[in-house]
Structure 1
């Protein structure tokens, strides 16, 4: 048994040594692909029954990594998603829907709970949510709930929320 473990150890060591890998910070940054969001934003703004919020004028270093709009069959509950990495490589996402707010918030924030205090973002007050994995800022308006959520700190989430411009296409 010891001989078998030694052979496996040598094999694993050889594989690690001879197979190229890059552990640098640039490798981590390039591991997640950046996506072009222009077409999806235009399409979502035309299809959604609410003004779709997308960031404009974010500082350099923010990168969009995922984007989607899923319409519902009944015209209610359409969901907009824009996932991003902030300059420190933390995840932040814009989530919007006209579905019932309580369930939508729980789904997109991975079960966070509302906490005390609000975050001022421009002229609006956003509710704060905190969970084991995600933090979130939530703004409810008639007909649409906007959630900015992710692993990024509240300051970065507020920076993303402040850059949001809601438009109907």
Structure 2
């Protein structure tokens, strides 16, 4: 009887273990973000914001630039000259800077900030940024106009972290 019970229980325990264990964190590849910034600065037609350097424990995970009408994500076309740089901080928080001169600024802001609502303003250095928060309160953003474009710092982080990142951005 014990042998029959073992024949039934061992596969059941293996199945339970396989479906209830927590998998390891997937490894996200680093990308070289500086070529996308250089391309944007040579073709965008507006002052491009980008960090001068990033902290050593940050990982650049997304860097893309598309000119107006060029291929953006999937089969979509960029409505303007558009740059996106994404980083994972040392605390495993994703923070990105997005910038575009798309004519429909409201649609651009809504798409990047998860249809957020205004949540006040913040002074970062000598620049005023509009604070925004998504409906579920998870995603916060900082938005401001930069020489004919709209710049957005966005992440699932508090405003303090976003403002700290925004201080590292330089236009050129």
Would the TM-score normalized by the shorter structure come out above 0.5? Answer: yes
Q: Which residue of 2 aligns with 1:156?
A: 161
> Which aligned pairs between 1:1-169 and structure 2 lie closer than 5 A?
9-13=12-16, 15=18, 23=24, 28=25, 31-73=27-69, 77-99=80-102, 100-116=104-120, 118-131=121-134, 132=136, 133-167=138-172
Which has the larger displacement, 101-110 or 40-49? 40-49
Structure 1 unaligned regions, length at least 5:
none
Distance, in Å, in 2 between the alignment partners of 1:6 and 1:109 is 50
Q: TM-score, normalised by structure 2?
A: 0.78
Instruction: Flag the structure with more relative contact order, 1 or 2, with Cα contacts below 8 A and sequence separation at least 6.
Output: 1
Root mean square deviation of aligned Cα: 2.8
User: Tell me, what secondary structure is at the counterpart of 2:80?
Assistant: coil
User: Tell me, what secondary structure is at the counterpart of 1:158?
Assistant: helix
Distance, in Å, in 1 between the alignment partners of 2:83 and 2:9 is 53
Q: TM-score, normalised by structure 1?
A: 0.79
